[in-house]
Chains A and B, each alone.
Chain A
Amino acid sequence: AQSVAQPEDQVNVAEGNPLTVKCTYSVSGNPYLFWYVQYPNRGLQFLLKYITGDNLVKGSYGFEAEFNKSQTPFHLKKPSALVSDSALYFCAVGLLDSGNTGKLIFGQGTTLQVKP
């Protein structure tokens, strides 16, 4: 069975400092991984994804994440946080061999608060 865990309900960071939002996953198969961001009263927006290829994935707004096949973290990182990065972040995992349904399992979400 697939599962995704985001162990932190909230992450607080000062503007200009590096940020990390943690995610770990468990699948039996070949995973593909996503990060989404949700601003208040809005739908989710795609940030980045890993399917195959380079393990370091760069996405929108300067965010990046690193895939390691032998380990299960897929943490979201940014070298220098902005106040405008404050939002709710979701990690999601799917299986490449899931019958082409595109089904994803989402983590419970982490609120990122960036303070000036």
Chain B
Amino acid sequence: NAGVTQTPKFQVLKTGQSMTLQCAQDMNHNSMYWYRQDPGMGLRLIYYSASEGTTDKGEVPNGYNVSRLNKREFSLRLESAAPSQTSVYFCASSEEGKAGGREQFFGPGTRLTVL
């Protein structure tokens, strides 16, 4: 039972390059999330998917796109990377339902540097 996996673990891009961060979970969770973590700013939500087939913007969506490929996979794409997107990216999932309040399970993160 791997939980939440993310690839790659590290990536260096040049300004203007594109890339996709991959995330998969094997817990049959409905909801998935992408966050970025920057020093002194905690985690900020980029996009989320409350269920398969739906995606919504979070707090900082500009410069990113997402795809909920199926229930397991939720990818994050940077179409034209900028130095301001240098960050650590975390994917998370949770078993959200009508009750709400479920804890989120996090992947190990992707450390992205944009030169």
Contact = CB atoms under 8 A, between A and B. Distances in A.
A46 B44 CA distance: 17
A44 B6 CA distance: 14
Interface in A30-63: 32, 34, 36, 41-46, 49, 51
Interface stretch (A12-20, A69-77, A78-86, A99-107): A99-107
Interface residues of A, number: 31
A90 interface: yes
Describe A's contact surface by its main secondary structure. Answer: loop
A96 interface: yes
Nearest to B96: A102
Interface stretch (B12-20, B70-78, B105-113): B105-113
B108 A100 contact: no
A44 B104 CA distance: 9
A9 to B, nearest CB: 7
A49 B94 CA distance: 14
Interface stretch (B35-43, B61-69, B79-87): B35-43
Interface of B: 4, 31, 33, 35, 40-45, 48, 50, 56, 58, 90, 92, 94, 96-98, 100-109
11 contacts: A41-B108, A43-B4, A43-B92, A43-B109, A49-B101, A102-B102, A102-B104, A103-B58, A104-B104, A107-B42, A109-B42
